[in-house]
Structure 1
Amino acid sequence: MLSPTTNDAEALALAALAATLTDERRAQRFLDLTGLSPDGIRERIGERQLLAATLAFLESHQPDLIDVAEAIGSTPGALLAAKAELER
């Protein structure tokens, strides 16, 4: 599998973040575990660290990883490859 480019990884992570935040339980867990506020997310939306942290959050709970991947028309493997690219 080819690794995503940085732009692809960022776009995929942004889609994953949006999908994460549209599910109320998942969004609350994300906020609780990261310590971020909605305003904090808005301020950091384009930062690679936030995007990588979003994908790490999903990776830590496989059902969320699978659900979000399906919701955005991707695969868990593609999300993990994007995370690796963002962590470089």
Structure 2
Amino acid sequence: MRPDQPNGKQDSVNDAMTLALMALGWTLAEESRADRLLALTGIDVETLRAGVGDPAIMAAILAFLANHEPDLIACAQAIDTTPAALIAAQEILSR
């Protein structure tokens, strides 16, 4: 079960972080997508490793997906959530 509420919103930072970590795993599963993430966000591998628990870094991962709708939709399907839940998680982590 994914940490989204029926209305597509998370009720906590922990739930948002869980979705962001799942989205990161999906993003890194394909080399070309991972390379694009690093190139477009400006995050390097070391910063990404060190920032896995950092809400700002995780919000940047979700923003990367939000800026490319096909990836946002594919990621949401792959991790059994909704695009709206991923966007809501980004908003929570960006606060």
1:3 aligns with 2:9: yes
Matched pairs, number: 88
Aligned to 2:94: 87
Aligned to 1:68: 75
Structural RMSD (CA) = 1.1
Q: Helix, strand or coil: the match of 2:80? A: coil
Which AA in structure 2 matches 1:43?
Answer: A
> Is there any run of 5+ residues in structure 2 with no aligned partner, and where?
1-6
Q: Is the 8 A contact 1:69 1:76 kept in 2?
A: yes
How far off is 1:40 after superposition? 1.8
How far off is 1:61 after superposition? 0.3
Instruction: Give the TM-score taking structure 1 as reference length.
Output: 0.93
> Is there any run of 5+ residues in structure 1 with no aligned partner, and where?
none
How far off is 1:37 after superposition? 2.1
Structure 1 residue ranges (4+ consecutive) displaced by more than 3 angstroms after TM superposition? none
Higher normalized helix content (fraction of residues): 1
Q: Is the 8 A contact 2:9 2:84 kept in 1?
A: no
Q: Percent identity?
A: 48
How far off is 1:2 after superposition? 6.1
